[in-house]
Amino acid sequence: MHEHPNIQRVAADLSAAGVTGQIRVLDEAAPTAQAAADQLGCEVGAIANSLIFDADGSPVLILTSGAHRVDTAKVAAELGVAKLKRATPEFVRTHTGQPIGGVAPVGHPERVRTLVDTTLANYPEVWAAGGIPHAIFPTTYDELLAMTGGTPATVN
């Protein structure tokens, strides 16, 4: 499974960004933050959910703590868009090349505008998806900002 092209793309981007955390392939898929936390034995808040939203037709990646939900009306207002809605599986795959439940912060065909939940700064180590629902890697809030060129945001 390490040979999966999505994992290879994510690993290459992580390496290029100087991220030292290695992608791990889990025994079971972790399509939700709770499933990932259960397998890793960490708090659900330390899981960086990679959620793709449709912002008036443009993709926005929100890396949010698994401990809470995104307030789409609040974030839409901050982004200056009329509506921010959860993207369809097709929209997600088109803009990231990755399936819902496995979207990584990086490894996309083109850079996606990214917001990083400031709550993730409360955890010395956070975990993010590695391109498929079975893949995950350790990182930090600061690394997430750096690797994505993301903007810190309060998203809940």
* pLDDT > 90? residue 14: yes
Q: How far is CA 108 from the centre of its chain?
A: 11
CA–CA separation, 111 and 20 (whole Å):
21
The whole-number pLDDT of residue 3 equals 81
**Tens digit of pLDDT for each residue in 39-78?**
999 999 999 999 999 999 999 999 999 998 999 999 999 9
Q: Give, in words, the CATH class of 5-153.
A: alpha beta
**pLDDT number for residue 2:** 64
- Write down the domain spans for the chain: 5-153
Rounded to two decimals, the pTM is: 0.94
3-state secondary structure the chain: CCCCHHHHHHHHHHHHCCCCCCCEECCCCCCCHHHHHHHHCCCHHHEEEEEEEEECCEEEEEEEECCCCCCHHHHHHHHCCCCEEECCHHHHHHHHCCCCCCCCCCCCCCCCEEEEEHHHHHCCCEEEECCCCCEEEEECHHHHHHHHCCEEECCC
Q: What tens digit of pLDDT does each residue of 85-138 get?
A: 999 999 999 999 999 999 999 999 999 999 999 999 999 999 999 999 999 999
Q: How many residues does the chain have?
A: 156
Q: Residue 31: which of 115, 88, 99 has the closest Cα?
A: 99
